[in-house]
């Protein structure tokens, strides 16, 4: 699950790979996308019978590139197989219980039903197939009787026995999420569960491509075209920028050469000036609401990355980088006057508070 807060650290390759792809142009994927998929996963795990089994196999075929679910054939059906993977060494048996019909069923009877299904599926599989790992994937209750029978089978087929098999029961939603769904890319999850929300509150929609590029590549891979210097303390002090924001800006500034290159590659030579002007408008609008520097910065961040951008470290780092870029070029916040110019003062924002 995504964290509620994002820290200004370089994005890892795995984090970048997890960023959802295929966003509608002009709309960023909601930063809390993984929470949405988890919620949708739990809803689908409530499906009964074939509905759950189809969902589980949809996930499994994306976890295993060589996953195959045989079609039923005549009287023998599928011979108890809901999927083979890893060159036939892993065997899956899926059982979707009718959870709604069983609401009034005694828990012990539910447990016995699951136990009987587990035993029948395993006996059928071990009689018809040659495999090393057997996994029972279910949304049914797994109580003491089911667990007791599972451990008996595990001991009966442990290493050194005539037919060694590693047995496991994966209970939905948790086991199916952590063992399968959570290991898939966002693109794969979107194939199974389409409809992830998009962040529609951004005010700089034509910079979505830039944000996507900064998210997709680890910030440690930024081109060191020129030495990366800290954000000027004079401007920071003059605007009373809090320490946390300074750390965010400094973390983001390593992306400055990449942002320069992105603007250079655009067909509109005036795009950079237009975006700087728009950034300035958003900044002044924020200043009309509050003069607290931290609140002003947060409003600029949100205009760029959408509400909840901190749910994603790659998204947050991209937002820090672009905001710092326009801060350094004096498009947002105020630049301190020359030392010999009267009326400057050490803290322009603080003066507005009084």
Q: 229, exposed or middle or buried, with CB in 10 Å at 0-12, 13-18, 19+?
A: exposed
User: Using one digit for the tens of pLDDT, what is the confidence trace for 9-68?
Assistant: 333 333 333 434 434 334 455 556 777 889 899 999 999 899 999 999 999 999 999 999
Specify the DSSP element, H or E, that contains 7. Answer: none
What residue has token string 């803290």? 347
Residue 92, helix vs strand vs coil: strand
Binned at pLDDT 50, 70 and 90, residue 205 comes out as low
Please indicate, yes or no, whether the overall pTM of this predicted structure exceeds 0.75: no
What is the DSSP code (8-state) at residue 139?
S
Per-residue confidence (pLDDT) for residue 313, from 0 to 100:
85
Q: 91, exposed or middle or buried, with CB in 10 Å at 0-12, 13-18, 19+?
A: buried
Binned at pLDDT 50, 70 and 90, residue 208 comes out as confident
Nearest to 62 by CA among 185, 168, 233: 185
User: Using one digit for the tens of pLDDT, what is the confidence trace for 340-353?
Assistant: 455 444 455 544 55
Please state which of the ranges 107-116, 229-238, 274-283, 320-329 shows the lowest mean pLDDT: 229-238
How many Å apart are CA 79 and CA 72, to the nearest integer?
8
HEC states along 203-252? Answer: CCHHHHHHHHHHHHCCHHHCCCCCCCCCCCHHHHHHCCCCHHHHHHHHHH
User: Using one digit for the tens of pLDDT, what is the confidence trace for 280-303?
Assistant: 888 898 888 888 999 999 988 888
Per-residue confidence (pLDDT) for residue 20, from 0 to 100:
43
Measured distance between the N- and C-terminal CA atoms of the chain, rounded to whole angstroms: 43
Q: Is the pLDDT of residue 5 over 60?
A: no
Per-residue confidence (pLDDT) for residue 331, from 0 to 100:
77
Q: Are strands 133-138 and 166-171 parallel, antiparallel or unpaired?
A: parallel
The mean pLDDT of 229-238, rounded to a whole number, is 71
Per-residue confidence (pLDDT) for residue 219, from 0 to 100:
56
Q: Which domains does the chain have, with CATH numbers?
A: 13-29+201-353 (no CATH), 34-190 (3.40.91)
């Amino acid at each position: 699950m995504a964290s509620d807060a994002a820290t200004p650290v370089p994005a890892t390759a795995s984090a970048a790979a997890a960023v959802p792809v295929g966003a509608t142009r002009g709309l960023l994927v909601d930063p809390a996308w993984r929470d949405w998929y988890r919620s949708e996963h739990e809803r689908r795990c409530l499906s009964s019978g074939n509905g759950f089994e189809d969902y589980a196999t949809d996930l499994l075929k994306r976890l295993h590139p060589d996953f195959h679910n045989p079609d039923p054939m005549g009287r023998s059906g599928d011979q108890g197989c809901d999927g083979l993977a890893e060159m036939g060494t892993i065997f899956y048996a899926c059982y979707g219980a009718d959870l709604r019909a069983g609401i009034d069923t005694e828990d012990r009877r539910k447990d016995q039903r699951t136990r009987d299904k587990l035993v029948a599926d395993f006996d059928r599989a071990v009689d018809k197939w040659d495999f090393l790992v057997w996994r029972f994937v279910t949304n049914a209750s797994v109580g003491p009787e089911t667990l007791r029978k599972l451990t008996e089978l595990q001991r009966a087929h442990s290493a050194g026995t005539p037919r060694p098999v590693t047995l496991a029961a994966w209970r939905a939603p948790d086991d199916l999420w952590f063992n399968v769904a959570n290991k898939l890319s966002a693109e794969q999850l979107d194939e199974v569960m389409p409809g992830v929300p998009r962040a529609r509150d951004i005010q700089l929609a034509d910079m979505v491509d830039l944000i996507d590029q900064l998210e997709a590549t680890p910030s440690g891979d930024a081109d060191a075209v020129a030495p990366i210097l800290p954000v000027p303390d004079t401007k920071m002090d003059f605007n009373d920028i809090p320490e946390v924001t300074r750390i965010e800006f400094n973390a983001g500034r390593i992306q400055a050469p990449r942002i320069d290159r992105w603007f250079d590659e655009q067909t509109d030579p005036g795009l950079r000036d237009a975006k700087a002007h728009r950034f300035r408008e958003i900044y002044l609008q924020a200043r009309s609401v509050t003069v607290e520097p931290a609140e002003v910065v947060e409003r600029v961040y949100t205009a760029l990355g959408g509400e909840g951008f901190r749910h994603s470290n790659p998204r947050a780092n991209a937002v820090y980088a672009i905001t710092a870029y326009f801060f350094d070029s004096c498009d947002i916040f105020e630049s301190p006057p020359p030392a010999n110019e009267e009326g400057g003062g050490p803290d322009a924002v603080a003066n507005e508070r009084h």
